[in-house]
Amino acid sequence: MKFAEMPYSQPDVDEVEQQFTEQLKAFTDAETADQQVAAFETIYSSRREFETMQQLAAVRHSIDTRDEQYETANAFFDEHGPRYQGIVTQFYDALINAKFRPALEEKFGTLLFEVAENGKKVFDPKIQEDLQRENQLVTEYNKLVASAEIEFEGEKRNLSALYPFESGPDREMRKKASEAKWGFFAEHEEEFDRIYDDLVKVRHTIAQKMGHENYVPFGYLRMMRHDYNAEMVRNYREAIKKHIVPIATKLRERQRERLGLDSLKYYDEACRFVSGNATPKGDPEWIIENGKKMYKELSPETDEFFTYMTKNGLLDLVNKPGKQAGGYCTMFTQYGAPFIFSNFNGTSADIDVLTHEAGHAFQVYSSRTQPVDEYFWPTYEACEIHSMSMEFITWPWMELFFKEDTDKYKFAHLSDSLLFLPYGVSVDEFQHWVYEHPEATPKERKDAWRAIEKKYLPYRDYDGNDYLERGGFWQRQGHIFGMPFYYIDYTLAQICAFQFWVRSREESEKAWQDYLNLCKAGGSQTFLQLVELAGLESPFKEGTVEEVAGKVTAWLDAINDKEL
């Protein structure tokens, strides 16, 4: 079904709960394994109906946050989503204690039962109102960011529309655009502070009600981190500091020399070359047509997938007023249909979206035949392997989009991917600090961010910008507000994606088969099991970060970037 034709109707939660109670009784009262499996599948059919309405409301609200119908619909799920989570938790409880559990484990795998156990640990009716409040605050943040209408160069522009000016070759224009963007954040600083302060407090309350000292261990449970913990993450951050930060610092120095500057300021970082960054050589429709060609040539599987996406209108890519910032991929489970959302703005990021979000979408398209919905997606750090690796697997087709700028794009893409790692671990360390100090003031949080930033990004120069010097940069990072602890995931996946980059150049057919197997597996295995399945080394293993960094650096060092 085409996205535009997918019908939305607001569920009656009382009716949903009554129907579920009857279905759950059939599940628990089953007298044979076959009866229990049949009741199990009926429950999943009902879940898909509710969750698809929830997804439709969220997606259509994000496409235009000013649309009153879907603003109301989104608010409905902010309020009733936690109640529905309670319904699912009842099912998980029954599943764990199922009369015919061995038969269910044989048919659906044992990981489902680990997910169910985890689900019980992160929900209790006593936190339902707190979860509703958390949802409302996240929506408030997203709407505030989407509301930006900045008068710039004769037009009102949102934040996405400013990026081409922030990354262009004219330094004065970069500075002007950057100051306009950060001026919006500074203007609304008190609102961002209040929203985040309320989020930290409500999350701390939730964690304590669920028996934890603070939100950190509860946050890890929410992220379903089955096979690694905060100590392993801390050691990994240290590996990034030791092996990546010095390389990143050298890359920034190369950039300063390449741009011919006395010093590299924060508003210079997005500009890679004196002649300007690599940009796509056509409009969004042209990009999509070349995307079709790329995915057709890559493999039969990607051809089928991308044809399905374009035929059914499952991409909303172009930036427009009122649209939520950023990009994402989701899935309408009732239809088995992935959906890609982004904000094209005429920069190379448009192609990154076409590969990154398409990597997510291709994965869930490939794994939509998994036996249970919990296996459609893996946990987030595994999800990001698919997206970040697809960015590199599609390198042989970049000339379709960048033509004479292809070498320029590849150098910038690979170096940017490495430069991202220190920032990614900064966000993670900051969130650990925040939730370990829930009583901190907004000023103390900004001070903590600034100290962490100086440790991992020692080259960053804010050129006296007051808001940024005081530690405000993190307020642009929606993950910090909306999905706590979802950020180290990108860096773990980047280390894995670099390995696919190496392998796709050395053994492309084997690398592609391993990538395809990884996508098909979906969430049927844990993160580290999936890493092994794909023939990759764990980012947590001693020596992995150093080895990967060495291979990436060797390629970058062999390029005369001043000639690009």
For 96, other C-beta atoms within 10 Å of its C-beta total: 15
Structure tokens at 76: 């409905």
Dump pLDDT digits (tens) for 104-129. 999 999 999 999 999 999 999 999 99
Q: Where are the domains of the chain?
A: 3-137
- CA atoms of 52 and 59, how far apart (whole Å): 10
pLDDT for residue 48: 97
Structure tokens at 536: 């990759």
Count how many residues are written for the chain: 564
pLDDT for residue 254: 98
Structure tokens at 495: 């280390």
pLDDT for residue 173: 98
Dump pLDDT digits (tens) for 202-215. 999 999 999 999 99
151: helix, strand or coil: strand
- CA atoms of 40 and 100, how far apart (whole Å): 11
330: helix, strand or coil: strand
Q: Which residue is associated with the tokens 């600090």?
A: 433
pLDDT for residue 529: 98
Max Cα–Cα distance, the chain, nearest Å: 78
Q: What Å distances lie between residue 17 and 33, 47, 79, 374, CA to CA?
A: 24, 11, 15, 20
Residue 332 phi, psi (nearest 5):
-95, 100
Q: Helix 380-393 to helix 406-436 angle, to the nearest 10 degrees?
A: 170
pLDDT for residue 535: 98
- CA atoms of 456 and 435, how far apart (whole Å): 20
Q: What is the pTM of this model?
A: 0.95
Positions in the chain whose pLDDT score sits under 50:
none
pLDDT for residue 258: 97
Q: How much of the chain is helix, strand and coil, in % rounded to 5?
A: 70, 5, 25
pLDDT for residue 18: 97
- CA atoms of 496 and 385, how far apart (whole Å): 6
